[in-house]
Amino acid sequence: MNTYRRLAAQVAAEVASGRLRPGDRLPPQRAFAYERGIAPSTAARVYAELVRRGIAAGEVGRGTYIRAPGTQPGPALAEPVSARIDMETNYPLLPDQQDVLAPALSVLSSRRDALKAAMSAASVQGNAAARALAARDLAEGEWIPSADSILFAGNGRQALAAAFSALVPQGERIGFEALTYPVACAIAARLGVEAVPLAMDDDGLRPDAVEKAHKIAPLRAIYLQPTLHNPLGTTMSAGRRADLAALLQRLQGPIAVEDRVYAFLDEQAPPPLAAFAPDRVVVMDSLSKRVAPGLTLGFLSAPAALVPSLARALVSGAWAASGFSLDLGTRWLSDGTVDALAARKRADALRRQTLARAALTGYDIKAHPAAYHFWFALPQPWRADAYVLAAERQGIAITPASAFAVSAGYAPNAVRIALAPPGLDELRSALGKLAALAGTDTDPTRSAWTG
C-alpha cells in the first residue's frame, strides 16, 4: 500500500476508534509531516485522500477538520431531498401555477393536429418560428441573438452537457468559478474533463485568474454565472464583464459558457457577457426556474462557427428536446405565459429575501434582493458540516459550501440556503429555526451529532 494511503487509513482508524472525533482539527500539513516522519508532499496527499473519502474537510483560513458523520462533500442539488423542509434544491413553483399552464396542455389534449405535432420527433434546431421565439426570449437590452444561433435541449443541464462535450475534448481543461453550480462540475467529470478552479472576488470571476490558469495549460472553455451567481447570489458589474470579454478576445482560446438560468430575476443586471464578446460566448438558459423542472426546455445560443458542433453534441449525447417539450415551451413563450410567471416569481423572490433578511438580522449573509437563495457565512463556533447536520435534525435541508467548491474539501465556512421550495409560513418558521440555531452558545462540534 502506498505510504499516503496507509497513513490515511491510520487516521480513518483513529476516527473509528474515537481517538479523533468529528470537529477535531488536524495539524497543519507540515506539522503532520514532521510528526509522521514523511515529506510535506506526502502529507498533502494524505490530506487529499482523507478529503476524497469524506473523512475530513478543509475550510478556507481555518484548516482541515474531521467531518461530522452523515455529511458528504457535495450533494448534486439535482434530486428532491428527504427532509421535511427543503431549502437545498431551488425550483420556484407558485401555488396556482398548474392553472396558468393548463391551457396549453388542454390544446394538446383536445386538438388532434396539435397533439400529432407534439408527438413528432424534433430537430435540435426546432423550426424557424421556435428559433425566433427563443431568440426573442434570450434577448437582453441591445443584445439580440440571431435566430440561426439557437439550439434546443431537453433542459439546462443537458444544454450544459452538450456545450462542454462540444467545446472541451476528454482530458482537457475547463475553468470554473471557485464556487459554482455543482452539477456543472459533475457533468465535466462525467465527460472526462478537468475542472480548474478560478479565483473570484466580490465582483465575480477575476480576469487575471483566467489568464494565469490559461498560461499554465490551455483552457478550452470557462463556465460562469455573471447574473445571480449560484451559490453567492451576486451579479457581476458591466465593467468586469467588459474586462472578461476583452481577455477572451485577446486570448482567442477559451470559449465562455454563460449560464443565465437565474438571470430573469435581476431586471437591473448589465447586458449578458455575450453582448460584450458575441463570438467568444455560448449562452445557456432554460425554463426550469421560470416555468417548472418537469415542464422545461433548454436553449443554447452560440457563435455561428460553433453551431454545427453543438448540434452534433446534442444529437449524439441524446440531449435534444422532445417534440412535446419543444411544442409546450414555444407555446408558453408565444402566449406570454413565461413572461407572466417570471414577473410573479420576481415578486415572490423579493418577498422571500425580505423574510430571510429580517430573520437573520445581524448575521453575515450575502444575497441579491432578487435572488431565490442566499449565502450564510456561519458565526463561530459553527462549522458548515455540523450546522447542516444540526439543521437536518430539525427537518431542514440546506447545503454546505463544500458542495459548491471546485477544489474538493476546501471551502468557506458557509452554507447556501434556498428560499424557493417552502410555503411562506413554513419558510418563516424554518428561517427562525436556522437563526436560533446559529445563535446557540453550545459547542456544536460536539453536540450536533451526539443528539
Q: What is the DSSP string of 210-227?
A: HHHHHHHS-EEEEEE--S
For residue 117, what pLDDT is reported?
A: 63
Q: Which of 214, 304, 221, 232 is nearest to 258 (CA)?
A: 221
Partners of 375 in the β-ladder: 366, 416
Half-sphere exposure of 156 (CA within 13 A, CB side): 24
CA dist 342 and 265 (Å) reads: 7
- Per the CB < 8 A criterion, the answer to whether 273 and 244 are in contact is yes
Q: Which of 286, 283, 261 is nearest to 272 (CA)?
A: 283
What 237-241 contacts at long range (C-beta under 8 Å, 24+ apart), as own/partner pairs, is 237/203, 237/270, 238/270, 238/271, 240/203, 240/204, 240/205, 240/207, 241/270, 241/271, 241/273, 241/276
For residue 113, what pLDDT is reported?
A: 62
- Per the CB < 8 A criterion, the answer to whether 56 and 50 are in contact is yes
Q: 121 phi and psi, to 5 degrees? A: -65, 145
Residues 6+ apart with CB under 8 A from 375: 231, 232, 233, 365, 366, 367, 414, 415, 416
| Angle formed at CA 99 by CA 96 and CA 100, multiple of 5 degrees | 90
For residue 408, what pLDDT is reported?
A: 67
- Per the CB < 8 A criterion, the answer to whether 68 and 385 are in contact is yes
Q: Over the stretch 368-407, which tens digit does the pLDDT of each residue have?
A: 999 999 999 999 888 888 899 899 889 999 999 988 999 8
Quote the cell numbers at residue 114: 396539435
Reading the chain (451 residues) residue by residue, the pLDDT tens digits are 677 778 777 788 887 777 777 667 788 777 787 777 777 777 777 777 777 777 777 665 567 777 765 555 444 455 555 558 999 999 999 988 888 888 877 766 666 665 666 566 678 899 999 999 999 999 998 899 999 999 999 999 999 999 999 999 999 999 999 999 999 999 999 999 999 999 999 999 999 999 999 999 999 999 999 999 999 999 999 999 999 999 999 998 899 999 999 999 999 999 999 999 999 999 999 999 999 998 899 999 999 999 999 999 999 999 999 888 898 899 899 999 999 999 999 999 999 999 999 999 999 999 899 999 999 999 988 888 889 989 988 999 999 998 899 986 668 899 999 999 999 999 999 999 999 999 986 544 454 444 3
> DSSP label at 203?
T
Peptide bond into 381 cis (omega under 30): yes
For residue 74, what pLDDT is reported?
A: 47
Say what the alpha-carbon torsion angle 95, 97, 98, 104 is, to the nearest 10 degrees.
Answer: 170
Q: What is the pTM of this model?
A: 0.83
Half-sphere exposure of 2 (CA within 13 A, CB side): 8
Quote the cell numbers at residue 343: 414577473
Partners of 284 in the β-ladder: 259, 300
For residue 285, what pLDDT is reported?
A: 97
CA dist 430 and 424 (Å) reads: 10
For residue 449, what pLDDT is reported?
A: 41
> DSSP label at 179?
B
CA dist 401 and 368 (Å) reads: 18
